Structure 1
Amino acid sequence: MKAAPAPAAPRAKPPAPAEAAAPPSPLESSRFTLWCLERWMSLGAPAVGRRVPGTMVVAVAALAVGIVAVIVTTSTGLNIAYADSQSHLTISRRLFDSKAPGFTQLGTVWLPVPSLILVPFVQNLWLWHTGLAAGLLGLVCLMGTACGVYRVAARIGLGRPARIAGVLLIIANPSILYVFTTALTEPVLILCMMGCFAGLAHWVTSRRNLSAGEMMVFTGLPAAGATLSRYEGWVLVVGGTVVVLVASWRRKKEWRYAIKMSLAFAVLPAVAIGWWLAYNYAVYGNLLEFLNGQYSASNLQKATADAGLLAYTHNAGLTLWTYNWSVLETAGALTVVLGIGGAIMLAWRFGLSNTALLVWVMGVAYGFSLLSLYLGQTHMNNDHSLPENWWNSRYALAVIPWLAVLAAVLVDSLSRVPTIAPGLLALVGLALVLQTAWWATDPARSSVIAEADGYIQLKAASGATDAAAYLRDHYDGGQVLMDESAAGSALLPEIGIPLVDYYNRSTGELFTAAIADPVSHAKWVFVSTADAPELSQTGVADLVYDAVKKQPSFETSYRVVFDEGDYRIYERISS
């Protein structure tokens, strides 16, 4: 009997043809269009209470531009070109990564807030080594600065074109974008100043009488942050207090109210300044250690001043000439021209109203910088100064937000003349595009970036770059003896070794003991052999090199493994 045949397998169905991606439905397109339109309209909407519509749009735009800037500078190493940038990264990390960790690692002269708020970002060794830690903080500062300019412009009643112009003058400025990727102190100062000005703008323009507590939180707190970021913040307190006093008197015609609100603004910054003086006295035994101590600007600039190279000191003409050229070469010609025009329109439209006083007080950094330069407390050079070189042009950066708000006042004034507004606004927009393109073809046209490029070339020519790379690649433990405070030796992030492995000035008595007996402390000795009388006079000569070259036993205990330019690295000879 034959078995029944097995049933045939079912026929496989041919695969269904791939469906083409469906185009967005008209409803989806209309929703996106509506969303974009709402965002656009928010940029011109009036402020309501504490809310300023459009702030988030500005923050996202600043974040996007800032991310690109961070990628560019970090990938090229330009973000750690300034020695001060590497020093600030080092200060933040040595608070917890050091042979002598602790709060006193903040040192003096440099105010503490920028170093303290950088601490969370430098916990990771790679973020610290690459300088990306500072870039992450800089993104926050850039967003806050752009939003601050926008909110001030909105609070004083400027329209959409003016607000956008002010923001673009910030986020399209290469000097701002570069410095905000570094660990320099200007980004934190500018962030705090703009936070204070935005708070003052809210108070000045509010129909409701804000309380003293609100004044302390929204204006006094950021002002205190500014006072502990850079010394420009100290003058902000004076100017801001005057504005609050005048505006309070005008509001109620009561001295009691005016004094109460002025104190509410000034008390936190005053406490911050008092704390800094007390800290200097407690740690160094000198209230004014930051002003006249070993590492103060006056001492470090002594050799330069004695050589007659601070030509602008007590010379008002040269002071104005030098500083204004730095402003022009960091802010850009368009920003300066629009700012000057805006200052004229501010005086014409607003007179001496509270709104005008608010905008004028934003220029306190300009006045402070001129005074510091005139008194010889600040050292700044550019390609139009005497002598001609790049030095500290970044001190002009704090003026840029003020110029941006003044420019916004001018743009708003132009936009209110219907017959000429479209053409003039288009001309301003075209000028901004051309200035941005001009900078983009050669970023070193910014004096701040030109100075950074110069430092990179100087480090390469002196051997510093190769010395840092050699120690980073060959270090296998055993501790390092190095004077990182010597001129040109602020290289610790670039080297990338944990700071606990170093004996240096910041380790105090441990450093002294290691210098006296290097063999029993460190396998590696990193020195700068640069020798000039002014280095010793100003306290930035290499203390390690000065000591070991006088020790006969040193040459028999160590061998030279790197010698290039001004830098030499020794490795202990195994016994």
Structure 2
Amino acid sequence: MTIIADQPQHSPVRTAAPPPTDGVAVVMPAFREEANVAATVQDFLSTLVREGVPHAVIVVDDGSDDRTGAIIDRLATAHPGRVIAVHHEHNQGYGAAVRTGLETALRRTGFREILLTDADCQFRAGDLVRLREHKKEERADAVIGYRRRRADPWRRRLNAKIWTTLCKALLQVPGRDVDCAYKLIDRSLLQDLRLSGEAAAISPELLCRISGDGARIVEHPVEHYPREHGEQTGARLSVVVKSLVSLAVVYAHMVRDARRLGWARRLATPKDPGAALVALAACAVAVAAYLYFADHGYLLAYKDANSHLLIARRVVDSPTAGLAQLGGVWLPLPHLLAAPLSLWEGLYLNGFAGAAVSMASYVVAVRFLFAHARSLSGHWAGGLTAAGLFALNPNVLYLQATAMTELLLFACAIVALHYLHEWCAEGRIRDLSLASGAVLAATLTRYEGWILFAVAAAIVALTALRRHRRYSHTEGSLVVFGFVAGAGVLGWMAWNLAIFGDAMNWKSGEYADSSLWVADGEANVGSLPTAMETYGLASLHNLGIATAALGIAGLVLYAVHKRARSRWLVPYAMLVFAPFFVWALYTGERPLHVREVMGALYNVRFGLIMLIPAAVFAGYLIGKLVPLLPGRRVAAAALAGAAVVGATLAVDGAVTLDEAVEYRASGWEADNAAVSEWLREHHDGGTTLMMSFENESVTFESQVPTGSLIYEGSYRIWEEALADPHAAGVEWIYMRAVPGSEDDVWEALWGTEALDDHYDLVYDEGDRFVYRAEDGGAE
């Protein structure tokens, strides 16, 4: 059978096939293969007859200018029905030949399986038998051959590796040998399949499309033989360029069809354009703020930022690397998120490993604040006001550029509030599930998240009870919410029990007790008026008087309009943090200092969380004022812009940054900076014994490799090193001997023979001592 097929370049594979029957249609594109095509076809014919497999061989002559066309016509005449000759009058390329062959196999045969191969004698029909057996055993929809030993020159093998890597990266295609011309495919995967790839791009496109719908695709090795006749065209520069261009086009088609990079497609056409624009603007602001604070050297001003980075780095690089390095005091999620970037020493040392988490959280927080306040107020100006007040607050801008954990908590809380409010208003279980996931993340970020969990659970219970008036429905809603949202709290207690033998270690352990931070005679402790004044001033310094005033006015208006109806309870949730922190100060659980009360700043950032309800209620206020104004669109933009700019300008700088800068200027930190500089210049990377607690600045800024640091989190190694550092192979020892604040290394080793007999004192300044082993440490 001879067919003339000059099809359009990007035509689909058409199907008008009879019901499938057992058998194989072998498709062979051929171009200038006069010396190979007859032997290849005869090999398949004889093998398939011997095996008793019904078959047809479709050979597509792609406009060859030699005797290829005449040879396949002769074969079609000699084997009617078993060989089908198809001709392109003009050369259209390998991709077009494959499309023509597949279309012919589907339209002219009824066989259930289709083999795509080449006509150049580099493959043998015997492998088809093994592929069919493997396909049946694996119950697969397709079997992709890979060349066990590729019989090609090294340049062609190198090109193939690069091509396969590129295809897998872009299209995520299965298989280790993308362009192997031996693929056995069930016809059901090929029906109505549209292919557009040219040259070598047709093969990865085919794999990408048939693997995108849940098909089972497996691999099997095939033999590959040297080409004895004819010329390979795949390595020509023109063919390579055509393949690369076509691969780019195929990639674009996959994105268009949502088979690959669906997130990019959704990003280009977001369901909520307003929220997308707000998020995009937040990205730009986040980067600009990071660059500003980096240029001024403020990224690591907080000692706690050093600590968070150290924990993340130790998870991936320490003498006892692993999840146990997360410890049991600070919650694990920020460190787990920062750990992958901490693998890169440069990103760890400059703080970006942790700042990246904060910056991403900032964008999420701004985007969902916009959505939440817009939904609450019924106008985009309300959402823009809330987002702007949060996004442009100087304290937020500074903390989002650091490795601190506040921004991750804020993002989790805002996402939780948004979806919880949507559930209260609409009752969709999806929103309740998303809210529970966000609360779970919050409970694994900071302990304020545990309070959020309790408040959110109470709102869920009250809303469900009021909505259904039945305890069974209330119980069901609580189970749906609490099973996920409460897992973080229970999981952290279980972790502390497993690691430290005490489920409450996070609160009362050696490095968690409040007495470590709350000094005797703390003004807030036992004095409720002082605690209230302190937290009120801290909040006011963080928010600014204008933002606070807008928030209070919005809260009053909201309370008048909505009162305490169950579907409108969520915005009140974040207000609970004011009495929570006042209680924490009053009972001495945590310290917070402001200049007006204590003459200094400490933990003043605790007041920043009140910006969330202030921004939401301010957004509600602006959103409700807009309908009262003429020229609403322009007026709305002007009102929102004026509120945000005015309130932001009213914030008296970044009090959170002031606190960090003041601490770094203290005499304590000056001594730490001096020894850190000395260690950077003299430390040779040898094993170092150094307590981390209260030495975080030295540990981080000295840049001693974390992989060589033995510290209290090294567990058994730490105990052995304290007992006999020389026997443990310790080459360097750092100790802090500040009166009343001596570290464990000084307590264990000062004045002992273990120290004096094997180590020389090489640094002695400001009650900081560094010792170096006389012999470089034990072998």
Length-normalised TM-score, structure 2: 0.61
Deviation at 1:215, TM superposition (A): 4.6
Q: Corresponding residue for 1:408?
A: 619
Q: List per-residue Cα deviations over 1:123-177 (Å, max 9, x = no partner).
A: 1111111111111111110001111211111222431221111111111111111
- In 2: Cα distance, 1:479 partner to 1:199 partner: 50
Question: 2:559 is matched with which residue?
Answer: 347
Q: Deviations over 1:344-402 (max 9, x none)?
A: 111112222345311101323333222222222111111122x2211111112222111
Worse-matched range after superposition: 292-301 or 392-401:
292-301
1:285-364 correspondence runs (5 A) = 285-301=501-517, 304=519, 307-309=520-522, 311-364=523-576
Kindly report which structure 2 residues correspond to 1:97-108, keeping only aligned pairs within 5 A, or say none. 97-108=317-328
Whole-Å separation in 1 of the counterparts to 2:375 and 2:642: 27
Displacement, 1:570?
Answer: 2.7
Aligned to 1:393: 604
Instruction: State the SS of the aligned residue for 1:80.
Output: coil
Note if contact 2:595-2:601 (Cα within 8 Å) is conserved in structure 1. yes
Aligned to 1:482: 690
Instruction: Quote the offset at 1:405 in angstroms.
Output: 0.2
> Alignment identity in percent?
26
Q: Which residue of 1 aligns with 2:579?
A: 367
Residue of structure 1 equivalent to 2:703: 496
Q: Which has the higher mean CA deviation after the structures are superposed, 284-293 or 511-520? A: 511-520
1:272 aligns with 2:488: yes
More strand by share: 2
Cα 1:64–1:528 change in 2 (3 A) is: same
C-alpha separation in 2, matches of 1:461 and 1:118: 25
Q: Show structure 1 runs of 5+ residues with no match.
A: 1-49, 536-540
Shift of 1:414: 2.2
> Would you say 1:210 and 2:418 are equivalent positions?
no
Kept after mapping to 2: 8 A contact 1:293/1:299: no
Report the secondary structure of 2:404's partner residue.
Answer: coil
- In structure 2, give the amino acid aligned to 1:90: L
Task: Identify the match of residue 746 of structure 2 among 541, 545, 551.
Answer: 545
Look up the SS of the partner of 1:79 in the other structure.
Answer: coil
- Counterpart residue identity of residue 583, structure 2: L
Structure-to-structure mapping, 1:99-498, within 5 angstroms: 99-206=319-426, 209-211=427-429, 214-215=430-431, 217-301=433-517, 304=519, 307-309=520-522, 311-385=523-597, 387-418=598-629, 429-430=641-642, 432-434=644-646, 436-437=648-649, 445-458=653-666, 462-485=670-693, 487-498=694-705
Quote the Cα distance in structure 2 between the aligned partners of 1:259 and 1:511.
48
Within 2, Cα distance between the matches of 1:294 and 1:460?
23
Matched residue SS, 1:308 = coil
1:215/1:265 contact within 8 Å kept: no
Q: CA deviation at 1:415?
A: 1.8
2:736 aligned to 496, 505, 528, which one? Answer: 528
**Aligned to 1:562, which of 758, 763, 778?**
763
Larger relative contact order (C-alpha < 8 A, sep ≥ 6)?
1
Kindly indicate whether the alpha-carbon contact (under 8 Å) linking 1:373 and 1:380 is maintained by their aligned counterparts in 2: yes
Q: 2:713 aligns with which of 481, 502, 506?
A: 506
Q: Is the 8 A contact 1:326 1:393 kept in 2?
A: yes
C-alpha deviation, 1:438, in angstroms: 6.2
| Residue ranges of structure 2 left out of the alignment (5+ in a row) | 1-269
Aligned equivalents of 2:688 and 2:667: distance in 1? 21
Cα 1:355–1:416 change in 2 (3 A) is: farther
SS at match of 1:363: helix
- Output the amino acid matched with 1:378: R
Secondary structure at the counterpart of residue 629 of structure 2: coil
* Alpha-carbon distance in structure 1 between the residues aligned to 2:565 and 2:391: 29
Cα distance, 1:294 vs structure 2: 1.3
- In structure 2, the residue corresponding to 1:394 is in which secondary structure? helix
SS in 1 for 2:686: coil
Q: Per the alignment, in what secondary structure is the counterpart of residue 689 of structure 2? A: strand
**2:4 aligned residue:** none
**Aligned partners of 1:165, 1:220: CA distance in 2, in Å?**
27
Bigger mean CA offset, 144-153 vs 350-359: 350-359
Q: Contact 2:546 / 2:650 at 8 angstroms: preserved in 1?
A: no
Displacement after TM superposition at 1:424 (Å): 10
Equivalent residues of 1:505, 1:511 under 8 A apart: yes
Aligned to 2:763, the other structure's residue is in SS state strand
Deviations 1:476-508 (A, max 9, x none): 2221111111x2444333233321111111112
SS in 2 for 1:527: strand
Separation in 1, partners of 2:671, 2:573 = 46
2:687 partner letter: Q
RMSD: 2.5
SS of the residue aligned with 1:463? helix
Instruction: State the TM-score, normalized to the length of structure 1.
Output: 0.82
Change (3 A) 1:162 1:308: same
Give how far 1:97 is off. Answer: 1.0
Residue identity matched to 2:605: R
1:239-277 deviations in Å (ceiling 9; x for gaps): 112222232334344432232112211221222211111
> How far 1:335 moved relative to its partner?
1.3
Question: Which of 716, 719, 725 is the aligned partner of 1:518?
Answer: 725
Determine the C-alpha separation between the residues in 2 that align with 1:274 and 1:548: 39
Would the aligned equivalents of 1:322 and 1:380 in 2 still touch at CA under 8 Å? yes
Read off the aligned partner of 1:405 and give its amino acid letter: V
Shift in Å, 1:200: 1.0
Runs of 4+ in structure 1 deviating by more than 6 angstroms, as ranges, are: 419-425
**Post-superposition shift, 1:574?**
4.4
Q: Distance in 2 between matches of 1:222 and 1:246?
A: 20
Q: For the Cα contact (< 8 Å) 2:398–2:654, is it kept in 1? A: no
Query: Out of 280, 296, 299, which is 1:60 matched to?
Result: 280
SS in 2 for 1:286: coil
For 1:462 and 1:549, the matched residues in 2 are separated by 23
Separation of aligned partners in 2, 1:155 and 1:354: 16
- CA distance in 2: counterparts of 1:438 and 1:195, whole angstroms: 27
Determine which structure has more spread, i.e. the larger CA radius of gyration. 2
| Structure with the higher helix share, 1 or 2 | 1
The answer as to 2:779 corresponding to 1:572 is no
Given that 2:358 and 2:400 are in contact with CA atoms closer than 8 Å, whether structure 1 keeps it comes out as: yes
- Tell me, in whole angstroms, the C-alpha distance in 1 between the residues paired with 2:636 and 2:764: 61
